[in-house]
Amino acid sequence: MEICRTIFTFLLVVFSIQGILGEQCLSDQWPPNSDRVVPTHVVNLDLPPTERWKEIAAVYKPAIIDLVDYIKKFVLSISPELQFLVSLVDTKLPAMADTLPVPYGDEMKGISQATGVPLGEIVLYNIFYEIFTLCTSIVAQDQNGNILHGRNLDFGLLLGWDMLNNTWTLSEKLRPLITQVNFTQNGQVLFKTTSFAGYIGVITGIRPGVFSISMNERYGLKGGYIGLIEWIFNINRKQSFVTFAMRDMLTKAESYDQAVKYLAEVKLTAPCYYILAGPKSGQGVIITRSRNGSDDVKPLGKDNLWFLIETNYDNWKKPPFFDDRVTPCIKCMEAKGKNQVTFQSLFNVFSSRPMLNKLTVYTALMEPATGRLESYWQYCRDEEAPCAPW
């Protein structure tokens, strides 16, 4: 065990040095190749919940099965003694679907029916994003008051390192599942998301003309594991899953201010960061959430800043030396300048190291005023420049 700790510490230092050496502020990554455009599918909210995901589930069935199988095998590879955790998937998680707010449980049941994947495994697939997500999110305002919102989704930390290919195994298995989902109601697009096929919560989303939102994980001693345990064993269900709260607001919120207020106050199963942008000048905010309330609300324009950046650490504290994506991101945004707040400029920032790293699976770009959402697969390849693992 001590040898493992020593090796891990050594790798941490090496990777940190890699990340420093690999800092970039690129200007030539736009436009992405057409084969990197994430496909779009539709979820019709007028259908019964059990039928909404049927088409998407059928298309992505093999990838969903492969991912869930990997998660179970990975847990057992850590120690055979963890078999009890895998057994919980079959004994406890299926019943959890019936405890979730409408319509989430029925949607999971529909996905299970369409794929043939046991319900407990579909529930697992839909809750493990609550506790393993790393990200970089940016809200920026140009000199004319126009607001753009973008994010990199980084996922798969410590869930299997592929020594042969120098990649995170789970990150690679997630890419085939990435899709843009347009949620429609009465024949109109109500909101759009960038997510994973069969994942019913929201990590990145936009309601045209109202607001856009991204969620980043926040580390803490009272993290998502505690909230999940409380929910599964019926200790406390007067709380919302962080990604379901986002979808609730995308479905119901009629204004940016309404979304901000709800997401600042709702009780949650896990701490997180909510990053929101609105269609009007000055509408941008980072909400630093504990499970029971907000620890900080940082608006766009504070300290005369024309942009906000959030990774996975409290924005009023210095990030750890081994994972400082904020400092190079600030440098890059300042180098671009307020007159370059465009999809092109933001994509170049998100494609620069270490904002782009081995965990990065997609970049999403949003414009709240128009409802424009563009999503692209991302890859960090060592042959182009040293690439940090996170």
Q: Cite the active site residues.
A: 135
One-letter amino acid of 35: D
- Between CA 359 and CA 166 the distance in angstroms is 11
C-alpha closest to that of 277 among 350, 176, 194, 207:
207
Q: Facing residues of 137 across strands?
A: 151, 310
Find the largest Cα–Cα distance for the chain.
60
**Crossing angle for the helix pair 54-78 and 104-115, nearest 10 degrees?**
90
The DSSP code for 277 is E
| Parallel, antiparallel or unpaired: strands 204-207 and 211-217 | antiparallel
Token pair of 192, please? Answer: 């759009």
* DSSP classification of residue 217: E
DSSP states along 353-374: TTTS-TTEEEEEEEETTTTEEE
Alpha-carbon distance of 292 to 269, in angstroms, equals: 9
